Structure 1
């Protein structure tokens, strides 16, 4: 979709939908929202809906960073401790690597 052809009110509605959809464990939509609406929020001349779009873009960026930190932390903890967790670690694994027991 070309945002240049969309009315400002519709841009706000679309940005809001992507922001709210990110709460349903879809943080990728927050990243898309941030990338897609960054220019609208910060580089375009001022218009009425821009402050709300800017708010959603900033919140989407913060949400993306938080989710990324949570996912990276979980992966590191799991990879370092999977073998020590015994059967629980194996039950959480999709593929069980051979090696350390």
Structure 2
């Protein structure tokens, strides 16, 4: 998406929308928000809406990073202890790997 042609008010509205969408357990929306608006928030000459966009970008980056850490921790724990958890882990799995009982 090319946001260079969009007015500043619309940029702020779009950035705010993606930030709020991240709270619906959509951390990918936060990541997109950071990628799309990073340049607007930190590298463009100052304008009125930039301060708010910068805040949304920073909080989106923080939210996406927290989700990434939580997801990596869960994957690591689940893969490490899946065999020990028995039937509970089998019910959580879509594919039951062959190997350890």
Cα separation, 1, equivalents of 2:58 and 2:82:
36
Unaligned runs of 5+ in 1: none
How many correspondences in the alignment?
A: 101
Task: Please give the per-residue CA displacement for 1:12-55, whole angstroms capped at 9, x wherever unaligned.
Answer: 00000000001101100100000000000000000000000000
Measured on the aligned residues, the alpha-carbon RMSD in Å equals 0.6
**By how many angstroms is 1:100 displaced?**
0.8
Report the TM-score, using the length of structure 2 for normalisation.
0.98
1:51 maps to 51
Separation in 2 of the partners of 1:83 and 1:93?
Answer: 11
Instruction: Give 4+ residue runs of structure 1 displaced > 6 Å after superposition.
Output: none
Report the TM-score when normalising by structure 1: 0.98
Is there any run of 5+ residues in structure 2 with no aligned partner, and where?
none
- Partner residue, 2:76: 76
1:1-101 matches, cutoff 5 A: 1-101=1-101
Q: Matched residue of 1:4: which SS?
A: coil
